[in-house]
Amino acid sequence: MTSPLRIGIVGLGTVGGGTLNILSQHAELLAARCGRPVVVSAISARSRGRDRGVDISRIRWLDDPLGMASDPDIDVVVELMGGAEGVARQLVEQALLNGKSVVTANKALIAHHGIALAQMAEKTGAVLAFEAAVGGGIPIIKALRDGLAANRFLRIAGILNGTCNYILTTMWEHKRGFDEVLKEAQALGYAEAEPSFDVDGVDTAHKLAILTSLAYGCAPAIDHMHVEGIRRISLRDMEFAAELGYVIKLLGITSHTEGGILQRVHPCMVAADSPLASVHGVYNAVLAEGDAVGTVLFEGRGAGAGPTASSVVADIMDIARGVRYKPFTLPVAQLACLPFSGMDNLRCSYYLRLSVTDKPGVLAEVTGIFKDERISLRSFLQHSHQPGETVQLVLTTHDTQESAMLRAMAAIAALGSVKEEPHMIRIENI
């Protein structure tokens, strides 16, 4: 066997703890598969005294995590603390500039600064690896870079946030409230340090930007993306969705359209028999449509200690084995500057829920607006109680242009009989 690969780990929380666990429990297996041992040379976190659930007493502790970047006994820095700026960014930059390879699960860092970091890695010959940044335990980065490399991608769509999928699934299956279920996801180690990143779609956006980059050979473009989260999704919407034959999921979708690449993150209704409808709890799924391969579906746990650490350790093993690749598949100088499309160009069908006064003429007013915008209705639901009460009116449309739908919604919201802001959910044919 050749010399050991010496790693330094910064961040010993959910993912860092899980990584230490795999490295110690599977040490022999990893050494055999890599042809050399992987040893943890040093660790660092904020609080030295905190119980990590694994024995760290014999591992060298560094109070200053940035010391890892220039430590002569460290070959690879494993950044598992998180954050697009601050110590995480400084650590990764300094390590790469010093020629040390970096493994990270930090999608925020990669989505915002991945190109600059990849340039640093190219300059010094270091590896920058981030399999754990998207899809937790699903090896989707490797799949896009290697296994599906022969394809042009028409669309990539996925459930990319375990916390949101856990919330949506648990709210529906157990009829529980949003806040309560979010707290549970946090306790299970699924949520980001700032959980609004999860529920407001930001985390999904970070991951989608990385997938787009790999699929289309461009730099991650987090600023060219429509992002909505799941805060407005209610049990009532889930009930109507079920009645209409749909399930509500937060999806990240990137597709090649006539206007350019369209990246969007928002709640979607998907048909109850769609493969994405049966992805529950913390599971993620990525559906890739390639021109040669057709549709491929990847599914697995998208968050949590074990699944995420599985991807982190796979990256460490690649480095131990001497596998080398460009972080974004192509050299940075060859990444394309592609046009990005806005949501105005999107065509899909829509679900619209209105709270209206139940009185004669209301439906005619609403459908009149749809007629003016040339939007064709597909279905209509109303569970009426007493005339004069506020009732829920649910309409779905045939495929229509997003811009027409938004104009119609604004006009409907201004009607005197409409009591709350209309709630629209896009229906994704997937």
Task: List active site positions.
Answer: 207
CA atoms within 13 A on the CB side of 327: 31
The yes or no reply on residue 397 touching ligand NDP (CB under 6 A) is no
The yes or no reply on residue 192 touching ligand NDP (CB under 6 A) is yes
What's the CA gap between 181 and 189, in Å, rounded? 13
Shortest Å distance, C-beta 300 to ligand NDP: 12
Q: Which is nearer to ligand HSE, 134 or 352 (CB)?
A: 134
The yes or no reply on residue 11 touching ligand NDP (CB under 6 A) is yes
Contacts of 414 (CB under 8 A, 6+ apart): none
4 touches 320 (CB < 8 A) = no
The yes or no reply on residue 47 touching ligand NDP (CB under 6 A) is yes
Q: Which is nearer to ligand NDP, 109 or 393 (CB)?
A: 109
373 interacts with, out of ligand NDP, ligand HSE, none, CB within 5 to 8 A per kind: none
Q: Which is nearer to ligand NDP, 101 or 397 (CB)?
A: 101
328 touches 355 (CB < 8 A) = no
Ranges within 216-245 binding ligand NDP (CB under 6 A): none
Q: Which is nearer to ligand NDP, 79 or 428 (CB)?
A: 79
Structure token digits, residue 418: 């409409």
- Give the end-to-end CA distance of the chain in Å, rounded to a whole number: 49
b/e code 386-407 from CB counts within 10 Å (16+ = b): eeeeebbbbbbbeebbbebbee
With CA atoms as reference, report the closest residue to 303 among 111, 50, 132: 132
What's the CA gap between 110 and 116, in Å, rounded? 9
Shortest Å distance, C-beta 204 to ligand HSE: 8
The yes or no reply on residue 13 touching ligand NDP (CB under 6 A) is yes
Q: How far is CA 133 from CA 150, 287, 382, in A?
A: 23, 17, 43
What are the residues binding ligand HSE (CB under 6 A)?
Answer: 136, 161-163, 190-192, 198, 203, 302-303
The three-class DSSP label of residue 84 is coil
Shortest Å distance, C-beta 370 to ligand HSE: 37
DSSP string, 116-150: HHHHHHHHHT--EE-GGGSSTTS-HHHIIIIITTT
11 interacts with, out of ligand HSE, ligand NDP, none, CB within 5 to 8 A per kind: ligand NDP
Q: Which is nearer to ligand HSE, 127 or 202 (CB)?
A: 202
The yes or no reply on residue 45 touching ligand NDP (CB under 6 A) is yes
Strands, sheet with 5-10, edge to edge from the N-terminal-most edge strand: 60-61, 38-44, 5-10, 76-79, 101-104, 128-129
Residue of 5, 7, 15, 285 that binds ligand NDP (CB under 6 A):
15
Q: Which is nearer to ligand NDP, 20 or 369 (CB)?
A: 20
Residue of 304, 391, 408, 424 that binds ligand NDP (CB under 6 A):
304
State the DSSP H helix or E strand holding residue 381, giving kind and residue range, or none if neither. strand 377-382
Q: Which is nearer to ligand HSE, 18 or 162 (CB)?
A: 162
| Residue 14: CB atoms within 10 Å | 21
Which range of residues in 184-192, 263-271, 373-381, 417-425 is near ligand NDP by CB under 6 A?
184-192
Site string for ligand NDP, 52-91 (x = CB under 6 A): -------------x--------------xxx----x----
The three-class DSSP label of residue 204 is helix
13 interacts with, out of ligand NDP, ligand HSE, none, CB within 5 to 8 A per kind: ligand NDP
The yes or no reply on residue 270 touching ligand NDP (CB under 6 A) is no
Interface with ligand NDP (CB under 6 A)? 10-16, 44-47, 50, 65, 80-82, 87, 105-107, 132, 136, 189-190, 192-193, 303-304, 308
